[in-house]
Amino acid sequence: MAATGKILVFVDFPGGELDETGRGLLSYGGRLTGIVDAPWEAVTPIAPEGEQLAGFASYGAPTVTAIAGGDLLLDTPALLGKALAQLAREREAAVVVLPHNDLGTTLAPVIAAALDAAILTEVTTVRRGQEGIRLSRQALGARVAETKTWDGSRPLVITVPTRNLSQVLMPTVRPSSPTVAIWQPAVPADNEVARVTGRIPPDPQTVDLTEAEVIFSAGKGCDPATFEQLKELCRLLNVSFGVTRPVFDLGWTGFERMVGQTGRTVTPRLYVALGISGSMHHVGGIKDSRRIVAVNIDPKAPIFPNCDEGFVADLKEVLPRLLERAKATAGGAA
């Protein structure tokens, strides 16, 4: 193992706020330092102050390097990537860690190309093995799963899914008193690279279910009326909509909405199963959701032992009330 350099953890720090992803990244840095056996450092596009800096301290960040003009570079990821590569070179970084979001996935190849580094995206676990560091990844909603060994002979750039980061919010290291250093990149100010002029978040109504944040799914317990109510509820709440196989078989939706073993494997923040019995073929595709809530009329439905919160209720009563509530909220907000 030739990995002797630092671990650089890039925290994009949107709007100067240390969000869930940022806290997850800091926690990840602390854990990685023990596995790779190298010191780590947080890198930000804006210098954290006050409460935000206290956040970095609570996660044991030993040092924070803020890129001068980094907030402007956020709109030109190609330049930000070059700046990060320059910093990584200066620090002789062994590993560069990025969130697997829009920005991180744009930066990762730029940094890897500039450093001639190995790159691995959507890394879920990192362990020390006999021949080096073993990294496992799951991509395309767990359809791709592989484990690779990094021997440390070249730098490594990784992206970590934000869902995995959010699951490690608890600090595992002692609080620190980080020093904040402003670092000036030597990136030319005049550039012809593409500039981001705006960001459009994905539309929950059309986003691939493997990427959805919140999914409400209809099972065979829905009749045509409750099915339509559920679709309307999803539109009003701006969440994604899924179905079980029997509902797909009825021809009520396209195959891309089907969740489960033969359908999509999903990992949302919240999965709401409505009138779904909880067969293993369906549960197998939702079990990695962060929170599962189920509504079923049958108290013995197998979905209940597989959910975080269960309600024994009739959808014919529940859905009109939820819909009424959502309409009132939407009306009130308008």
Ligand X SMILES: Cc1cc2nc3c(=O)[nH]c(=O)nc-3n(C[C@H](O)[C@H](O)[C@H](O)COP(=O)(O)OP(=O)(O)OC[C@H]3O[C@@H](n4cnc5c(N)ncnc54)[C@H](O)[C@@H]3O)c2cc1C
Q: Which of 58, 176, 279, 306 is close enough to bind ligand X by CB under 6 A?
A: 279
Identity of the residue, 38 or 259, whose beta carbon is nearer to ligand X in the bound complex = 259
User: What are the Cα distances from residue 106, in Å, to 95, 113, 187, 266, 315?
Assistant: 17, 12, 17, 23, 43
Identity of the residue, 225 or 330, whose beta carbon is nearer to ligand X in the bound complex = 225
Give 65's strand partners.
43, 181
**Burial of 88: CB neighbours in 10 Å, binned 0-12, 13-18, 19+:** buried
Contact string 280-309 vs ligand X (x = CB under 6 A): -xx--x---------xxxx--x--------
The minimum distance between CB 252 and ligand X, in angstroms, equals 11
Q: Which of 261, 293, 306, 326 is close enough to bind ligand X by CB under 6 A?
A: 261
> Interface with ligand X includes 92 (CB under 6 A)?
no
Interacting residues with ligand X between 163 and 222 (CB under 6 A): 219-221
> Residue 168: which residues within 8 A CB-CB, separation 6 or more?
24, 27, 28, 31
Buried b (16+ CB within 10 A) or exposed e, 296-311: beeeebbbbebbeebe
> Interface with ligand X includes 246 (CB under 6 A)?
yes
Identity of the residue, 269 or 281, whose beta carbon is nearer to ligand X in the bound complex = 281
Nearest to 169 by CA among 16, 27, 17: 27
Is residue 38 a contact partner of residue 92, using CB atoms and an 8 Å limit? no
The minimum distance between CB 141 and ligand X, in angstroms, equals 12
Identity of the residue, 48 or 278, whose beta carbon is nearer to ligand X in the bound complex = 278
Distance between CA atoms of residues 280 and 306, nearest Å: 10
How many amino acids of this chain bind ligand X (CB under 6 A)?
Answer: 28
Tell me the pairing of strands 270-274 and 144-150: unpaired
Q: How crowded is residue 30: how many other Cβ atoms within 10 Å of its Cβ? A: 22
Chain residue whose CB lies nearest ligand X: 260
Interacting residues with ligand X between 72 and 91 (CB under 6 A): none
Distance between CA atoms of residues 61 and 333, nearest Å: 41
Identity of the residue, 3 or 294, whose beta carbon is nearer to ligand X in the bound complex = 294
Identity of the residue, 86 or 265, whose beta carbon is nearer to ligand X in the bound complex = 265
Token pair, residue 212, equals: 């959805």
Is residue 66 a contact partner of residue 180, using CB atoms and an 8 Å limit? yes
The minimum distance between CB 213 and ligand X, in angstroms, equals 20
The minimum distance between CB 276 and ligand X, in angstroms, equals 4
> Interface with ligand X includes 315 (CB under 6 A)?
yes
Q: Which of 90, 151, 309, 314 is close enough to bind ligand X by CB under 6 A?
A: 314
Distance between CA atoms of residues 319 and 315, nearest Å: 5
The minimum distance between CB 236 and ligand X, in angstroms, equals 20
What sections of the chain are H helices per DSSP? 20-36, 50-58, 70-73, 77-90, 102-115, 162-166, 224-237, 245-249, 280-283, 315-333
Identity of the residue, 30 or 260, whose beta carbon is nearer to ligand X in the bound complex = 260
Contact string 106-145 vs ligand X (x = CB under 6 A): ----------------------------------------
Which stretches of the chain bind ligand X, using CB under 6 A? 219-221, 244-247, 258-263, 275-277, 279, 281-282, 285, 295-298, 301, 314-316
